[in-house]
Structures are given as C-alpha cells and as structure tokens.
Amino acid sequence: MTTGRRLVVCASHSPGMERDTEKAQGREFRDGLARAREEVAAFDPELVVLFGGDHRRAFRHVVPAFGIALSAGVMAEAGHPAATLDVPGDIARAMSEHLLRSGIDVAVCRKIDLDHAFAQPLRDLLGGLDRTPVIPLPVNCATPPLPPAERALAFGRAAGTFLDGLTERVLVIGTGGLSHSPPSLEVDTFELADEERARLIAQGAEAARKKINPEWDAAFLEAVAAWDEPALTVLADEATERAGVGANEVRTWLAAGATGGAGLRTLRYQVVEEWITGMAVAAST
C-alpha cells in the first residue's frame, strides 16, 4: 500500500549477491532493485519497519515465531563490518505493546545481532544501515515449527494498525524468498558453525540450483499482485514441499503486505542459478 505515509517494498536477498562484486550475475533482478531504490528515495522515508527472517544465527536456542527488536545491530558478514542499527526504542516499545494487545505474542529482543536478511535490504534500498531509523521485526522462517501463514498475515495487519497512528513516512520492507533450498537450512540443527555452514553450501550448491521453482514463484507473485490472501496462505504453508525450505521466507512478504492489505506490483523476477534462488522485487502501487 502506498499512501502519503507508507510504502511497501518486498525483495529477495542472497549472500551470493554480495560475493558477486563485479555485479555480473542477476542483472535483471539488480535492475528491479534499482527501480525500487528510486521509489524509496522519492518517498523519502522517516522510519523503516523491516520484516526479516533469521538463518539460525541470531536465534538458535530460543526461537520466537515473531519478534520486535528494541535495540539491534548487524553481524560482520561478506566483507561488511559489524554495525549498530538506529532503532527508535520508544516507537518499538509502543509497537510491541500494541501487538500484544492485538493478540500477537511477539517476543521483545534487545541487543540482537542480525544477519544479511536485515542488512542487505537496508543497503540495497536505502544505501546504508544508518540512513533511516529502523524497527527490525524478525519472523521465524527457518526453524520448525514455523508460524502458519495466517499468523504472519495477522502479525502484519496488527503492525499496520499501529503504523496508521504514526505521522512519519514509513517504508515497510519484507525480505527473503522466493523458491530456494539452501543446504545449510535443509539440515535440522541449531548448532552449526560458520565453517560447517559454508561447507554444506559448497557441497550442495549444484543440487540446490535444480530446486528453484519458477512456476511456484509465478503463482506467488500473481497472488501478491492481487493480494489474494487465501492463495497466499496455501502457497506459503506448502512452501517447503513445493519451493524449498528457503521459500518459507515469503512469510515476511505476507506480513509486510498485510500492513496495507493491497497488492504489490512485480518490478522484476529472475532465476539466478548462481544464487540458487528465484529472485524478485515488488512494490506497492
């Protein structure tokens, strides 16, 4: 939904995009990101609300279905140094109280270190981590049992009701997906060292390329454009079987889109085999 006060942008992310320093891969997707970034710049947000998943790095032993960070940073990754995010604690606290009153059992997090799921969209869409205050809203997309799609939609609706009461121009971001099945998430373990993670990914990369499902991606983007919640619910709840474990990250798209409850137009979609992912970016009209 784009009103005078809100813009919604959803985009895939991938560590492979960071490794491709020459930007030779995923050119169509990168073009879509550039278009989205132009729209974000024209909108000039005063606050970012970012629904992102976790790759079993920030949350390992205790994994909330939904979280809200009152303070947070991003971990050092892919050549980028660790950094602290500018989280407006008073607004985040007020949002957490609103969510709880609305029936969303959200976990409050402090001093949590997030990974590229949060850092990448801030860099790609805003040009840096420190450009705009941001409220991170982690969604469990990786560690079963996962929240059902309907709960992700309810999370987004409740957040949207809170945002309706703000005067700031708010950019809402959903990040992750579409179809992909990272080998590091196919194993059911919460104690995975970074070295072991890298080994699993390298060993399984060739097989993972064959797990991209453009047909599922197309159906999902069509449902997003129409904001067909029944279809989105089925697609998200069946994501593991039809589109790989990484496709569960589309719960962040459901939450972000539900803040406005209106369709998102696809700016670009591209299968990027080098990143083992169907990559898409969409924005509100």
The residues annotated with a catalytic role in the active site are 116, 180
Peptide bond into 146 cis (omega under 30): no
Chain-centroid distance, C-alpha 16: 16
Contact (CB, 8 A) for 137 and 58: no
Which residue, 180, 198, 181, is CA-closest to 279?
180
Ramachandran quadrant class, 145 (left: phi over 0; alpha: psi -120 to 50; beta: rest): beta
Two structure tokens written together for 223: 């449902």
Which residue, 80, 85, 74, is CA-closest to 21?
80
Which residue, 31, 24, 79, 32, is CA-closest to 275?
24
Strands 6-11 and 277-284: antiparallel
Strands 47-52 and 134-138: parallel
